Structure 1
């Protein structure tokens, strides 16, 4: 139940040697874990700010199995708002996994590092869910600047808190629920890589980006910015 400085422990999901089948099984159980912990509540609260728009373009950074963009499509679709969705993930497994998991998702898929996306690409809304903790500190600062430069209306980072109870809860819960071994391993590694408020304050100061940092149950950060 370690709560010291960030430790960039290895995560199996980042390992290119993992097979597509193993990656997809892990995404399935990760999606279940996110549903059980109400992970979409801060996402919906953020999206509600754009309910008066007629159309929005949305980029999901680290789109994984497409769960977040599917939630976005459903949210805006229920309000009659047209969406132009783009999913970006560095893993070649992401697009085929998402297409099998969410055949109704209408999104353009891009397999790329976020920092390699062409400079001309801009979006109304950019989402970054459970991605920042995969990055070393300098790249988190770089990501904040990137989001501020590319989002026309607003951006959202949702990520984990580095907390002893979060670590213990994931260690125990993933085992009791018999989740996929990749999820069991990566869950506590992710908390070790995660953030405390002082980390976000430092990153924002170094980046020169203005943003609001809020806590979200359970043990999540919601960092929001943009000209809103």
Structure 2
């Protein structure tokens, strides 16, 4: 059994921004399906509704991957007569290209290729920053910088969902990735993502280091933390 008492910081295969589309596209498509099936999109939309969110608001998804969260929000907004301006931010050109293709039917979704740590000048400000299963890619120091950057960019607040580091989730992902996919990336990155994920006390300490005290941190099935940070 791996040591899950502390966060791992090994690089995932997906962290290589030079990966070809032939390798990254199937993984992005699979992640989008998982987020939909396991309620990740519904949880983000519920948090947006409780903010609340209004017509004309702008939402920016940092580490947007294949754009699946923004597409889900766009569909929800259209259904509820909410005209929202949606922007996806990702440093990987293959991810941005994939997301643009997936979002071609949605005129209110745009994408920017930018590094969320160093390219903040290229990232437009917005009302609400969202981020799903992304922040575990950062070590503790860069996580604090990421949250500070999000704070500077968001006018209203931030919604983050990410994994809870737990042995049951770790072994469940090993089984799932070996049964349902032959992707080397999925089989490597899935369990490693859990090893890089968070315990509650770690998130609380990281938020303290970032100077954040106006927040709500809750646990959601399946083994995910939802962090909502309020600007006012």
- 1:150, distance to aligned residue in structure 2 (A): 1.7
Q: Determine the structure 1 residue equivalent to 2:219.
A: 215
- 1:120, distance to aligned residue in structure 2 (A): 8.2
Q: Determine the structure 2 residue equivalent to 1:83.
A: 84
- 1:52, distance to aligned residue in structure 2 (A): 5.7
Are residue 58 (structure 1) and residue 59 (structure 2) matched? Answer: yes
Q: Determine the structure 1 residue equivalent to 2:110.
A: 108
Comparing 40-49 with 116-125, which one deviates more in the overlay? Answer: 116-125
CA–CA distance in structure 1, aligned partners of residues 123 and 163 of structure 2: 31
Are residue 196 (structure 1) and residue 199 (structure 2) matched? Answer: yes
- RMSD of aligned C-alpha atoms? 1.8
CA–CA distance in structure 2, aligned partners of residues 219 and 120 of structure 1: 30
Q: Determine the structure 2 residue equivalent to 1:143.
A: 146
Return closer, same or farther for 1:120/1:218 CA change in 2, 3 Å cut-off.
closer
| Structure 2: stretches of 5+ with no match in the other structure | none
- TM-score with structure 1 setting the length: 0.93
- 1:50, distance to aligned residue in structure 2 (A): 4.8
Q: Deviations over 1:143-178 (max 9, x none)?
A: 222222221112111101110000010000111112
Q: Determine the structure 2 residue equivalent to 1:167.
A: 170
Q: Is the 8 A contact 1:125 1:152 kept in 2?
A: yes
Q: Is the 8 A contact 1:99 1:105 kept in 2?
A: no
CA–CA distance in structure 1, aligned partners of residues 80 and 222 of structure 2: 27
Q: Is the 8 A contact 2:114 2:122 kept in 1?
A: no
Return closer, same or farther for 1:30/1:54 CA change in 2, 3 Å cut-off.
closer
Are residue 184 (structure 1) and residue 187 (structure 2) matched? Answer: yes
CA–CA distance in structure 2, aligned partners of residues 18 and 183 of structure 1: 14
Q: Is the 8 A contact 1:8 1:136 kept in 2?
A: yes
Return closer, same or farther for 1:52/1:89 CA change in 2, 3 Å cut-off.
closer
Return closer, same or farther for 1:51/1:80 CA change in 2, 3 Å cut-off.
farther
- TM-score with structure 2 setting the length: 0.92
| Structure 1: stretches of 5+ with no match in the other structure | none
